[in-house]
Structure 1
Amino acid sequence: MKKDIWILGISGAGNKFHDNSACLIKNGKVLFAASEERYSRIKHDPSFPKSAIKAALTFAKIKPSDISLYATGWPRLSIVKTLFKVDKRGIALSGLNYLRNFPILGLVALLKHLDSLSIKPVSDYLPVEKHVLFDHYLAHASSAYRTSGFEECLSVVWDGFGTKSNGLLASGGVFICREGMINEVETHPLEASIGLFYEAVTNALGFVPAEGEGKTMGLAAYGNPKRFLSEMRKFAPAFREDKWITSRNWLDTLPAVDLKYKEIFDLTFMGRELARLISKSPQDVAAACQYIIEEEAVKFFEYLHNRYKLTNFATAGGVFLNVKMGKRIRELPFVKKFYVHPHAGDGGLALGAALEVYATSFSPRQSVFEMRSSALGDGFSKKEIERELLKTRGVVYALPKNLAGYVANRLRQGAVLGWFQGRAEWGPRALGQRSVLADPSKEEVKERINKYLKKREWFMPFAPSILEEKAKDFLKGSCTSPFMTMAFDATSKGKKQMKAAVHIDATVRPQTVSKRENPLYWRVISEFEKLTGVPAILNTSFNLHGLPIVNSPKDAIDHLLWGAIDGLVIGPFVVKRKENSF
């Protein structure tokens, strides 16, 4: 009997990797993927994913010794080597600025910050002889191309920064992908990082970098992009003809990547100038920032098409979570297919590294497929769920005959419901497994969700789940979007019937729901359409502000007890607090 090939992918073999995740594949098939945050309950947990690995092995009923190879997507970094390779003029200018403006303690803190970037692998957990390290951007490209289903494409990766196989830092890459092979054709330089620029503006606006970029994008819709455009351009990289032009202040973005170093960032020229502009109008600063990255992205993708003559694009890296930028790219006339990996940030490295080691070591052609669902995490049986309900004081539960009909009717009545079904989604979006549901036609529902659950800023939009076959009635230029990674302009019908899920600029970030991939969730929306005429529901992630998305039945029940939701639908059960009757 042929021995099974088990590959375990890990975002990074250390304790400083944003959204550190584990992914298990068997003979090229993805069986399990989860982020450590779901178990530790620490949002974006960078720790080595011991709990996620344990869950993966438990799911597959195998032991660590059964793993053929371990793969990670972040080689060891040489910060000194990187600084000698990048733009020395920019380093000199920023260095003089630091010396002129920083107190001694600030300089010491900056040096510590640079040293902290030299991430060292936690090798104790990975047998050296089984551990394969991949270039950060190759792992990202692999995650996108190998799950896109494209026969041939360009894979484009952009994020803040990441380590190449030679130990140098970069901020992205471009790869030609065909016949199961991936070849890098361009490297996006560190000193022209789109991601670092956007993170720095996010930091200056008072949001958490590497987490609050969605808030910057949401706020941008309320601003005038032209007001501060000239002032903002001097801090941004720019694409001209066939190369990236670096901002002379690019080094100022480095201490902006973590709020621990905000004091340092605020003292830089960029930090001081952004603070001055933000004091006049934060939304105009956000709008200019968003405008710049969209314009530079369009110019770069036009260049890529002219040079490489490819029309399919598979993308990854945290920058591509910016759906407004992605919308501009997708709407370019030469783009035939556009795909964003559902876990585009560093969590997705786990899958990319695993698929890449399988492709390069075992079977390149077999490792390209179309990813249809991200429900790759933990699932719980009816018995396991009821056991948790029985030991919880303060709740009552029932088993309705028509679960989908019950949920649709409660949503029509204005209820905000927690929805916990099947295996957990892997990635930043709730996609009908761990979601909070509401009626999208009622604008007042946004205030209720924000007050008791999300505590979001006033300008942040919500998103809808729409029946796939009805999406064209609500979205202009609609296409399949199962992972909420794309934005569309709403039609007049969409704006009227989904008031709570359409942003101020009339755009929508939807999930299209397939009957084949998620039949129960599809039935809920279908039943809701029968009652209201609206084939969509509002869907936001099932988590209290500051916490990761719920993972276990206990997590979900706790949210009910905290008063964050009106009721809970978990497995076949509907659950309420005892003071509420059915």
Structure 2
Amino acid sequence: MKSLGLHKDPWHNTGACAISGHDGEYNIAFLSEERLDRVKDSRAFPQKSIEACMRHLDVPSISQFDAVVMDYIETDKDWRLDQFRRPCSTENLLRDVVPERIHMIDHHLCHAYAAFMTSPFEEAAILIVDGRGSNKQTQSLFIGSGNSIKFIEGTDTIGIGLLYAAMTQHIGFGNLQEGKTMGLAPYGANEPPLAYDFDGRFEGIRTSYETFCVEGNYSLRQDILSPSTFAEQARAAYETQMECERALLHLGKYARKVTGMPNLCLSGGVALNSVANNSLLKARIFDDIFINPAASDTGIPLGAAYYGHYALGQNKRRAGEISPYLGPTYSSERIDEAIAVFSGYKIVRDNALKQAIEMLCANKIVARFEGRSEMGPRALGHRSILMNPLIAENKDVLNARVKFREEFRPFAPIVMEEHSQDYFDIDRPCPYMLLVPNVLPNKRDVIPAVTHVDGTARVQTVTQSFNGKLYTILEAFDEKTGVPVLLNTSFNVAGEPIVETPEDAIKCFLGTDIDALFIEDVLLVKN
């Protein structure tokens, strides 16, 4: 069975995912188009990512896919169907696919398949919370069991996802910048309250903000106070974040009541709100919660491909968490060729790991390129910039010298899983950076560069089996410093996608104040 999942719409980044195999034994490749066309949040038809996935799985022709699945936003007569089949256009990559093999399915159903089919649960409640999906749905509830997913109910009211997006733009951050609002929120905790009355009405799966938001363009009413100072912006972010957590707790309680399931899969753009996720987990409504690292619309191709594999192909499922590293493979020959093309650095092949750790201990900035790229919008160690977490000023150094972004933006820690409870208030693995627990009080001065202003941190736990050489780097840093934690941020600069290829990595390294690039087993050190 070969299944191809696609996503393309005018609002979010497009991409592709391909699955080849039978039952629980299959190979998978997944990539967002922005990683290859180098346009942040690219809306282009995912031709480059389709071709990359096909190369990885050794599928010579798109006609060999048994199913090509994509989501729709409005109806099954979506404008895309004709565009994908139109000859003499970019999208004619699909011209050789038998029309009966092209399937258009519900947007939230794609989210549900991406979340549940990559989870460790045999059965679970599935809660989707985002902006807008098919038929304008904002929130949906499903039950997953085995290889099937059943829709329970949904709503098309203006939900918490749209409120959060509208407030993000109202604060002044622009489209698809909700992460900035989450990062700014703690700075507003002690600021004077603003005159916001969200008037959120919760009933069942509904969270409604019709009296606060304008339906037509999903913005706020014109009479809503626009924050003009940093303090007001921070307070607006804080109040919005508190409302998000309140809404998610309501939805979680309702999902548990209706489904009776002890475990939850959470997806949709709101599921990237790691702070709200942690609040939901701490409420102990569910025994466990799973969130895929590509929870936003970046994961729609993944869910579409799984729909083809399980719903259409009727393959048996073997539950288990999926590796986040699903991008293409780059050979050592390709890497060596890329290294040879550029100049301006010393090439270290012997004792490269030792020198990389020495540079980190000496407070240098070291980028990391390893294996297949991670899915989703957050770096999980294969396309990362690493720095020493022991020095508080390193946050400002990175924001100013490399990331070129707002000073309040926090950085995340990676930690050896077996030591995670020594540093963070967490009782389980967190391999995808989707929870924000407290840093233990006695460790906040130890790792100040990754401790947020409210004493929290967006943690990624790392193991040898799941993360490979990233664990080895952490282990070596621990041996040198006694601290099994490193600062980790995405390998890119503001406004650009995370690097994908060896060439991307070297260009970013040379174009910023990064001191060294540890690319597979080779260390490049600037002259």
The TM-score, its normalising length taken from structure 1, stands at 0.84
What displacement does 1:34 show? 0.3
Q: Which one is further off, 345-354 or 70-79?
A: 70-79
What displacement does 1:296 show? 1.7
Is 2:349 the partner of 1:375?
no
Is 2:66 the partner of 1:68?
yes
Judge conservation of contact 2:153–2:205 (CA < 8 Å) in 1.
no
- d(CA) in 2 for partners of 1:280, 1:384: 49
- d(CA) in 1 for partners of 2:158, 2:191: 22
| Residue identity matched to 2:160 | I
Change (3 A) 1:393 1:358: same
1:193 paired residue number: 159
What displacement does 1:393 show? 3.0
- d(CA) in 1 for partners of 2:517, 2:378: 19
What displacement does 1:23 show? 0.5
1:319 paired residue number: 270
- d(CA) in 2 for partners of 1:230, 1:437: 41
1:96 paired residue number: none
Is 2:16 the partner of 1:22?
yes
What displacement does 1:418 show? 1.0
- d(CA) in 1 for partners of 2:67, 2:278: 38
What displacement does 1:238 show? 2.7
1:453 paired residue number: 402
C-alpha distance after superposition, 1:465-484 (max 9, x if no partner):
10011111111133111111
Judge conservation of contact 2:17–2:53 (CA < 8 Å) in 1.
yes
Give the match's secondary structure for 2:131: strand
Is 2:214 the partner of 1:247?
no
- For 1:273-292, what aligned pairs fall within 5 Å after superposition? 273-275=224-226, 281-292=232-243
| Residue identity matched to 2:168 | T
| Residue identity matched to 2:6 | I
- d(CA) in 1 for partners of 2:325, 2:248: 31
Give the match's secondary structure for 2:525: strand
Judge conservation of contact 2:266–2:290 (CA < 8 Å) in 1.
yes
Q: Where does the alignment leave 5 or more consecutive residues of structure 2 unmatched?
A: 86-92
- d(CA) in 1 for partners of 2:270, 2:102: 28
2:412 pairs, out of 438, 463, 473, with: 463
- For 1:34-45, what aligned pairs fall within 5 Å after superposition? 34-45=31-42
Give the match's secondary structure for 2:111: helix
2:183 paired residue number: 218
Judge conservation of contact 1:373–1:482 (CA < 8 Å) in 2.
no
What displacement does 1:565 show? 0.6
| Residue identity matched to 2:189 | N
2:260 paired residue number: 309
What displacement does 1:515 show? 0.7
Is 2:5 the partner of 1:9?
yes
| Residue identity matched to 1:326 | N
| Residue identity matched to 1:316 | S
Change (3 A) 1:225 1:325: farther
- d(CA) in 2 for partners of 1:254, 1:548: 30
Is 2:148 the partner of 1:181?
yes
C-alpha distance after superposition, 1:421-446 (max 9, x if no partner):
11111211111111000001111111
Identity of matched residues, %: 29
| Residue identity matched to 2:42 | D
Judge conservation of contact 1:175–1:186 (CA < 8 Å) in 2.
yes
- d(CA) in 1 for partners of 2:250, 2:298: 28
Give the match's secondary structure for 2:130: strand
- For 1:20-419, what aligned pairs fall within 5 Å after superposition? 20-28=14-22, 29-62=26-59, 63-77=61-75, 122-124=83-85, 125-126=93-94, 127=97, 128-163=99-134, 168-189=135-156, 191-210=157-176, 212-224=177-189, 227-228=192-193, 231-234=196-199, 237-240=200-203, 242=204, 244=206, 246-249=208-211, 252=214, 254-256=216-218, 265=219, 270-275=221-226, 281-366=232-317, 368-401=318-351, 403-419=352-368
| Residue identity matched to 2:504 | D
- d(CA) in 1 for partners of 2:370, 2:81: 38
| Residue identity matched to 2:214 | D
Larger Rg belongs to: 1
What displacement does 1:207 show? 0.6
What displacement does 1:292 show? 0.9
Change (3 A) 1:246 1:65: closer
What displacement does 1:362 show? 2.1
Change (3 A) 1:227 1:121: farther
- d(CA) in 2 for partners of 1:294, 1:322: 9
Give the match's secondary structure for 1:442: coil
What displacement does 1:304 show? 2.3
- d(CA) in 1 for partners of 2:241, 2:102: 39
Give the match's secondary structure for 1:507: coil
Change (3 A) 1:251 1:119: farther
- d(CA) in 1 for partners of 2:40, 2:123: 36
Judge conservation of contact 1:157–1:315 (CA < 8 Å) in 2.
yes
Change (3 A) 1:376 1:243: closer
What displacement does 1:225 show? 7.8
- d(CA) in 1 for partners of 2:440, 2:189: 23
Change (3 A) 1:254 1:395: farther
C-alpha distance after superposition, 1:19-46 (max 9, x if no partner):
2110010125242100000011001111
- d(CA) in 1 for partners of 2:320, 2:194: 40
- d(CA) in 2 for partners of 1:429, 1:254: 31
- d(CA) in 2 for partners of 1:280, 1:502: 21
What displacement does 1:356 show? 1.3
Change (3 A) 1:194 1:430: same
Change (3 A) 1:379 1:179: closer
- For 1:548-563, what aligned pairs fall within 5 Å after superposition? 548-563=497-512
Judge conservation of contact 1:17–1:47 (CA < 8 Å) in 2.
no
What displacement does 1:567 show? 0.9
What displacement does 1:254 show? 4.6
Judge conservation of contact 1:225–1:285 (CA < 8 Å) in 2.
no
C-alpha distance after superposition, 1:343-373 (max 9, x if no partner):
011111111111112212222532x532342
1:89 paired residue number: none
C-alpha distance after superposition, 1:1-20 (max 9, x if no partner):
xxxx11111123xx525121
C-alpha distance after superposition, 1:267-320 (max 9, x if no partner):
x6x244131687871111111111111112112212222332222000111011
What displacement does 1:523 show? 0.9
C-alpha distance after superposition, 1:62-117 (max 9, x if no partner):
221221110112254499xxxxxxxxxxxxxxxxxxxxxxxxxxxxxxxxxxxxx9
Choose between structure 1 and 2: higher helix proportion: 1
C-alpha distance after superposition, 1:207-258 (max 9, x if no partner):
1222x11111111111138954662313xx3314x363633435515525xx
What displacement does 1:545 show? 1.3
| Residue identity matched to 1:185 | I
Judge conservation of contact 1:23–1:30 (CA < 8 Å) in 2.
no
What displacement does 1:120 show? 6.1
Change (3 A) 1:226 1:244: farther
Q: Where does the alignment leave 5 or more consecutive residues of structure 1 unmatched?
A: 80-116, 257-264
| Residue identity matched to 1:255 | N
- d(CA) in 1 for partners of 2:82, 2:300: 15
| Residue identity matched to 1:45 | S
| Residue identity matched to 1:338 | I
